[in-house]
Amino acid sequence: MEQARLIWDLQAIAQEEYVLQKKEGLKSLVVRLKQLQDSIKRAEEESSKLGNLLAGAEAKATKLDTEVARITKQAQGSKDKLYQAKGGSLKELLSLQQSLIKMEEEVNKSENRYMEVLNEIENLKKKQEQVKEIIKSLKKEYNEGVKEYKKAVSQLDFKLAELKLKREEIEEQLSPETLRLYTETERRFPRNAVAKIKGGTCSGCHISIPSVLVLRIKEGKTLQRCDNCGRILINIP
């Protein structure tokens, strides 16, 4: 009876080890870390894209600034010509005046485009700062997640080490014959090498056990296998 109870406890340890080794508790953490990595990658790509747009807008602003300065200079030259030509003919004055009006319109258009680009640059900078803050927040969450994952792995390893010690303690109490029988059976049934008798049936395969075998198991002199599945049969509550 004592050997039967020991191998039943050994099986409970094997089942717990199996659950821990599957690392089910870590899967949600791994999934979250992967999601964070993907989010960081997308945010960094967005930041890079905004950086390229910003560089393009700044180059455009520089070009427009030069253009505004050039056209303004030309307009000033037209003004000077208009003032100098006050004693000229009406036709000449009208021509110079029309030329000046066109120049001033071009200056206004260029200045408006320049201001639009400056506004665009300001908006791009704000968006880029927002994305950088998002990246910073995501990386912080990711680093905290990594710490949590490492802590969980450490706790898992500790639990597995504890179970290994318990397994060794139980194995030391088993007779060589019982340990050999259990080890052989566990190779076939890693998580349920041992089955109980329930209503004259094997709890492993749920098939009826011959009455003679049931009596031998209940006597508890030696451990018996199920004739059908091969599991070790025991008679304990």
State how many domains the chain has.
Answer: 2
Q: What tokens does 58 get?
A: 């700044």
Task: Specify if 18 maps to a domain.
Answer: no
Contact 208, 200 (CB under 8 A): yes
Q: Over pLDDT 70: what percentage of the chain?
A: 89
CA-CA distances (angstroms) from residue 209 to 5, 45, 71? 20, 67, 105
More confident residue, 170 or 99: 170
97 and 124 co-located in one domain: yes
What is the structure's pLDDT at 4? 92
Where residue 85 falls among pLDDT bands split at 50, 70, 90?
low
Q: What tokens does 84 get?
A: 């100098």
Contact 178, 3 (CB under 8 A): yes
pLDDT at 74 over 80: no
- Using left for φ > 0, alpha for ψ between -120 and 50, and beta otherwise, residue 232 falls in beta
CATH of the domain at 162: 1.10.287.1700
What is the span of the domain harbouring residue 222? Answer: 179-234
Query: What integer is the mean pLDDT of 148-177?
Result: 95
Task: Specify if 10 maps to a domain.
Answer: no
CA-CA distances (angstroms) from residue 90 to 84, 86, 95? 13, 9, 9
Cβ burial, residue 117 (10 Å; 0-12/13-18/19+) = buried
Task: Specify if 16 maps to a domain.
Answer: no
Cβ burial, residue 11 (10 Å; 0-12/13-18/19+) = buried
What is the structure's pLDDT at 83? 62
Q: Residue 146: helix, strand or coil by DSSP?
A: helix
Q: Over pLDDT 90: what percentage of the chain?
A: 69
Where residue 67 falls among pLDDT bands split at 50, 70, 90?
confident
163 and 210 co-located in one domain: no
pLDDT at 35 over 60: yes
44 and 148 co-located in one domain: yes
What is the structure's pLDDT at 211? 92
85 and 130 co-located in one domain: yes
Q: Among 66-75, 137-146, 187-196, 221-230, which stretch is predicted with the lowest mean pLDDT?
A: 66-75
187 and 113 co-located in one domain: no
